[in-house]
Structure 1
Amino acid sequence: MIVIRILLVGFLFSWFGFICLIGNIIFLPLIAIRLNRIKFFENIARDLVYLAWKFFIFCTKILGYLDYEFKDYSRLGKPSQIIIANHPSLLDVVFILSKVRRINCVVKSDLAKNIFLSPAIKAANYIVNSEDEELLNKSLSVLKSGDSLLIFPEGTRTKDSISFHKAPFYIAIHGAKILTPIFIDMNPRSLKKGVKWYKTPKSKIKYKIKISDDLILDKFLIDKPNTIRVKTLHKQMNEIYQKEIKC
């Protein structure tokens, strides 16, 4: 049984790469002639990512690799909405991008160098995670322009405990109208950071993705300075996720 699971995971990784390569046939010309700088073509790129990942998640479910519960995702994708989520596995961003059209997201800098994924990232104008002001400025700019933005505040996949960086909450207070937390529960755990792809569980993986209540940021501690608002929001979200998610 475990051999079959390993073969299935190997096939799905290959299938994922193949889907990326097909998309790159479209993405690379858009980038080469800089059409991705035009909003219309940026939306086309994001729509293609949305459809590709929807198809990939469908394949993983049909082939019996995983099952999932993801309700109320129509609440996502509002103007100037920042969406935060914990990050237990490689597929977290794929799940969310497959349910929310034209959402922007912050992606790990390593992915921007990946031959399979970098054309999609550039064509869709996703924001590459960096440790300088560029990340803050781009994130604030897209929120103020009306985009919704997905951020994983851990910065990388969850290891032994939830620990959020402060930057996403600075972005939320200074640029967003709504903050929506998403809790991602995965059982059994797989595709963790530092774990080889073939170390797969014997049983089917089950995801439960829960969308929490919106936090209207215009009403959050409005009588306090922004520095206090950021610090308090950061502390509250860390505490909420540590209680909600068992790593």
Structure 2
Amino acid sequence: MAAILHPFMRDGAARRLGRRAITGVFRIYLFLLGALGACRFDISELDALKDQGPMILAPNHPCLLDAVMVIARLPNVACIMKASLMKNVFLGGGARLARYIPNGRPLQMVYAACEALSAGGQLLMFPEGTRTVRAPVNEITPSVALIARRAKVPVQTIIIETDSDYLSKGWPLFRRPPMPIHYRVRLGRRFDPPANATTFCGELEAYFAEELARARFVPPQFATERPSAAHTL
């Protein structure tokens, strides 16, 4: 349906419909995971961001459920996603309708992200670039700093914790984890638009490392490396 509607709707209407529809689907999905006893979610802190205007939402990123949890609570989010997923038969139509942004061409991605922010939306992007493989956080990529500086918007960090390695990088697709899995999302520091991308990336990486050391949940693969570190979504 989304693929059919996409060519015939104006940008504003398509964006609103697509994003609200995806938020609704993700809410139902998380509700079902909770009802089945598979997961326990503590993500209500995200609600405080709903009416706070354009900003970059920057969570850490070891799990495939991270974007689902954020978007399920925030209905006006543009998401930067893999370019290949925009052509996916199941995900592509909705993503295009919601005006999500492919990451295939970096310069075009930056321009599109700034346009999404200037239209009043919030932008979800993961500063690590990929799911966490190095405890407690990967090296931060400069994209978030470049977009924040160009768009002149703050960067709101989001700390997402879990007690499981489920759907982390390298997790076998059909391997069943111990359940229920606990997820907790809390709001971190909000950074002003950076003046220097390199300095900002270092500050952001140090901040994530410090916050993750205080995490409530620690997944097994990181528990032996640093007992106080968290593996987040």
Gaps of 5+ in 1: 1-25, 221-225
Instruction: For 1:74, give the aligned amino acid.
Output: D
RMSD of aligned alpha carbons: 1.7
**How far does residue 72 in structure 1 lie from its aligned partner after superposition?**
2.3
Shift of 1:242: 2.1
Counterpart of 1:190 in 2: which secondary structure? coil
Among 233, 238, 241, which residue is 2:205 paired with? 238
CA distance in 2 between partners of 1:75 and 1:108 (Å): 28
Q: Aligned-pair distance for 1:116? A: 1.0
Structure 1 residues 131, 244: closer, same or farther in 2, change over 3 A? Answer: farther
1:23 matched to which residue of 2?
A: none
In structure 2, what is the Cα distance between the partners aligned to 1:57 and 1:176? 33
Contact 1:127 1:139 in 2 (8 A): yes
In structure 2, distance between residues paired with 1:212 and 1:71: 14
Any unmatched runs of 5+ in structure 2? 213-228
Residue of structure 1 in register with 2:114 after alignment: 140
Number of the residue aligned with 1:4: none
- Tell me the TM-score normalized by structure 2: 0.84
Please give the residue correspondences for 1:123-202 in structure 2 after superposition, counting only pairs within 5 Å.
123-161=97-135, 162=137, 163-202=139-178
Bigger radius of gyration: 1
Work out the CA distance in 2 between the residues paired with 1:176 and 1:89.
29
Residue 66 (structure 1) aligns with: 39
**8 Å contact from structure 1 (residues 143, 176) kept in 2:** no
In structure 2, what is the equivalent of residue 211 of structure 1?
Answer: 187
Q: Structure 1 residues 178, 238: CA separation in 2 closer, same or farther (over 3 Å shift)?
A: same
1:103 equivalent in structure 2? 77
- Aligned residue type for 2:31: F
Runs of 4 or more off by more than 6 Å in structure 1? Answer: none
What percent identity do the matched residue pairs reach? 23
Q: CA deviation at 1:152?
A: 0.7
Q: TM-score, normalised by structure 1?
A: 0.80
Aligned residues: 211
Task: Judge conservation of contact 1:111–1:117 (CA < 8 Å) in 2.
Answer: yes
Report the equivalent of 1:92.
Answer: 66
| Residues 88 and 185, structure 1, Cα contact 8 Å, conserved in 2 | no
Looking at structure 2, the residues matched to 164 and 110 of structure 1 have their Cα atoms a distance apart, in angstroms, of: 22
Instruction: Give the Cα separation in 1 of the matches to 2:19 and 2:35.
Output: 24
Higher helix share: 1
CA contact (8 A) 2:37 2:179 kept: no
Alignment match, 1:48: 21
Distance 2:123 2:182 in 1: 26
Contact 2:46/2:186, CA 8 A, preserved across alignment:
no
Contact 2:117–2:151 (CA under 8 A) maintained in structure 1: yes
How far 1:131 moved relative to its partner? 4.3
Distance in 1, Cα, partners of 2:72 & 2:78: 12
Q: Secondary structure at the match of 2:90?
A: coil
